[in-house]
Homo-oligomer: A and B are copies of this chain.
Amino acid sequence: MSKNIIIASTSTLHGGDYLEYLLPELSVHFEHCKTILFIPFARPGGVSHDEYTVKVSSALAKINIEVKGIHEYENFSKAIKNAEGIFTGGGNTFLLVNQLYENNIMTILAEAIKDGIPYLGTSAGSNICGLTMQTTNDMPIIYPPSFETLGLIPFNLNPHYLDSDTQSKHMGETRETRINEFHSFNNIPVVGLREGSWLVVKGDTITLKGHLTARLFRQNQTPAEIESETDLSFLK
């Protein structure tokens, strides 16, 4: 079996319901899954694991998929290995990464996905698909044992990528400035994934999906716009 992954910038588009815009894609992606395992550790806005799992259940019920939160299992590793499909939701990436390490499942999760268990990530759940979480937008609310993540793709992601507002009078760094700072010390390519874009990983192919372009940042290179349907597997 080979990798079968959807990596989405966001779970929700402005004015849409949770996961709504992805449902047609997900009904194909998870077509052989009766139940998927949900990893709620990123806890957006501090919601509980149970509350977050209920929200995902409601959304995926529309395509007849049942959802079970990983926190409902006694043995997290076994839950991952036995899963028909896995979804990691958004929230805070530091918290998510910390919980994956604390529960000793970072490597097990990576191996399961590399073995072909269909995976969906949104936002923080997408961030962890990269080599490191160092291009997250999130606040460091907790100190994780490492910034290394699943390494399912040979680059990093910046989900919810936001173009600079040229009208803004705010002096805080733009997203592009922040990614340039990353490249002062790291040579990992970064794909800025705008809301409404997602990547589909099938084996070694990594295709940009959705109607928008994505912004590619490489060390010592001018940023470039990547067209939808481009295969990004050339990056490394």
Contacts and interface: CB of A to CB of B under 8 A. Distances in A.
Contacts of A135: 139
Nearest to A158: B139
A13 B171 contact: yes
A57 to B, nearest CB: 21
A92 to B, nearest CB: 5
Contact of A140 (B15, B140, B177): B140
A103 interface: no
Interface of A: 10, 12-15, 43-46, 91-92, 94-95, 133-143, 146-147, 160, 162, 169-173, 177-186, 195
Contacts of A162: 170, 172
A177 B134 contact: no
B139 A45 contact: no
Contacts of A140: 94, 133-134, 136, 140, 147
Contacts of A141: 134, 178, 181-182, 184-186
Nearest to A141: B182
Contacts of A133: 140
A150 to B, nearest CB: 16
B169 A14 contact: yes
